[in-house]
Amino acid sequence: MRKLNKQSLKRLSQKDKVPITFQMPRPSKKNTRQATASSRNGSARREEILETATDLFYERGYENGSLRDIAKVMGFTQAAIYYHFPSKDEIFFCILDRFTEIVFQAIKDQLDTPGDPAEVLRKALRQHVSLSRDYMKEVKLLIEDRKLLSDARLQIVRAKERKIFDLYRRHFEKLRAANLILPISPTIISFSLISTANSVYQWYDRGGSLSIEEISDELAQLYLCTDDSAGQSSKSRTARSRSKAD
């Protein structure tokens, strides 16, 4: 038998070594882009459905607008609507839930701002009235048709409304403690303010003589009226009347 020298052994050793490697398959860039695009398209489609439903419910009322109507306006099948929303009630809830969250966050941001509490209220009320102008359709649906939601979802929307009410009530308690409002129950004045701000959609005229900022400032003056300021306002009005008469 032929003897193997060290060089032969080395060559055999290297030849017998068979490296084995294993790599996890990576998702292709194409598949990743497709998944991301699909997600974006799905979100955009949901938004389109919600916008169409808002317009339809506003024009016809919630009860008179069907999923078939929404699909027809969008040029979809009903199955395409059901793919994104399991029911008309779910669509309506999403509209109201999102709107009440927008109002809550906007009012909270304003009322949480440090500074003169009277000025803070003015800014919050201006924000609230502006939202009522910009979201007239959602306000109308909230006030007139929310009762048509399923019980569980109606409770969620009402809880959001209660949070908005509590923001105002706590702030009016501060104003009353500082003698910046008349001695009226913060609960009553909060309900009154919210009702007034929400009713803007019924009478506001974009082409009217008053801007939305002027309207909100006048309302703020009404709610911030104290005994002293009421007297001063009365004297001021009397002076203006006499000036016009002269």
pLDDT of 36: 43
pLDDT of 7: 55
pTM (2 d.p.): 0.74
pLDDT tier at 130 (50, 70, 90 boundaries)? very high
Section 175-195 average pLDDT: 93
pLDDT in tens, 8-35: 545 544 544 544 444 445 555 554 444 4
Tell me if 175 sits within 8 A of 118, measured CB to CB.
yes
Section 184-188 average pLDDT: 93
